[in-house]
Amino acid sequence: MKKFLATIAVSLLTMTAAVAQSLPAPTIASKSWLLLDVTSNQVIAAQEPALRVEPASLTKIMTAYLVFAALKDKKLDLNQSVNVSTRAWKVDGSSSKMFIEPNKPVTINELLYGLIVQSGNDAAVALAETVAGSEDAFVVQMNREAERMGLKATHFANPHGLPAKDNYSTAQDLSNLAARLILDYPDFYKTYYSTKSYTYNKITQPNRNRLLLLDPTVDGMKTGHTKEAGYSLISSANRPNGTGQRRLISVVIGTDSDQVRAQESLKLLNWGYLNFDTLKLYEKGQALATPEVWKGTQAQVKIGFDRDLYVTLPKGAAAKLKPALERKDPLVAPIALNSKVGTVKMMLDGKAVAEFPVLALEQVNQASIFGRAWDSVRLMFK
């Protein structure tokens, strides 16, 4: 699953201008925003998605991602106790805190609730020190992971998102980061991000994501706020789509208040669900065609896809969608399993709205020297 977004992002086009213009985007009162369909990995609409912004506590999504990775790799245990450092305890007292204390051990599980539900900056530092040994070493890991994910306009300076000139991102990168966490660690996401409140040290704090209370289909993600950044919210909803489910992520950056960021995020999610459908095009392993193979041990090869494929379209447009297959003919053996042998473009009103690589669903070895010689002669007259 970790390779899913990186692979599909290269092959999938966002909405074409013609399709997007048929449905005017809503007016969202923020500096930058984006709506992503996670099921198809398609950006439905956006405004200033590449604008450099201060992520504030949205930074903690990457912090959580790295902690989840350490848990998956058995480098940490949820019940493991952590000694709180003075550095973690003394993090900016005017900012969001979980209120951990030195000489009072706290578990990784408690720290994750403090990080995600309470947005505790002290929890972020404590987790960073536990994972990497120091806050600075953890930041190196954050930026290495951002590079691996292809977040080219993102740089982290700390694990919590308090103001720093080298802590920046974009709505585009943040949407991809959020999707990666949900897809790579669905169980952790479900456990922590939908929690509405958490009590630690006899202090109960609510989750600042108001949408958890306003919309039962919203199951996360994260709020962010500083004076300079304004009020931001990444939210995700999972609603029925035919016989399955469809997940959208909205990223709303730099609104004027906590109420506005919730209001605008819900507006964006509702607009996406009301005006667009996500259509399943092909199943993993489904043969799209069986073209002829030259100089191989078999005469044909099945071609298709190594994953289920989806596309997001305006409601009512699915009936007009047509596939156009472009192959790399002639197909000459040897052909490796899952090697690219062509492209399929999904056409709507004469324009490509999505594009996917077509792969060999089976391996084809080279024929004998006599078989190859015979096919070489045949190709001369093809």
259 within 8 A of 287, measured Cβ to Cβ: no
Q: How far apart, in Å, do the first and last CA atoms of the chain sit?
A: 42
221 within 8 A of 238, measured Cβ to Cβ: no
Q: Which residues are catalytic?
A: 57, 60, 119
Residue 41 tokens, joined: 């990995």
- Amino acid 233 reads L
In 216-328, which ranges are continuous DSSP H helix?
258-275
Residue 363 tokens, joined: 């391996």
What Cα–Cα distance (Å) separates residue 283 from each residue in 52, 306, 318, 358, 364? 37, 8, 17, 13, 22
288 within 8 A of 304, measured Cβ to Cβ: yes
Q: What's the Rg (C-alpha) of the chain?
A: 24
Look up residue 305 and give its DSSP letter. Answer: -
Closest CA relative to residue 175, chosen from 79, 47, 19: 47
Q: 3-state class of 191 per DSSP?
A: helix
Rounded-to-integer distance, Cα 63 and Cα 115, Å: 9
198 within 8 A of 215, measured Cβ to Cβ: no
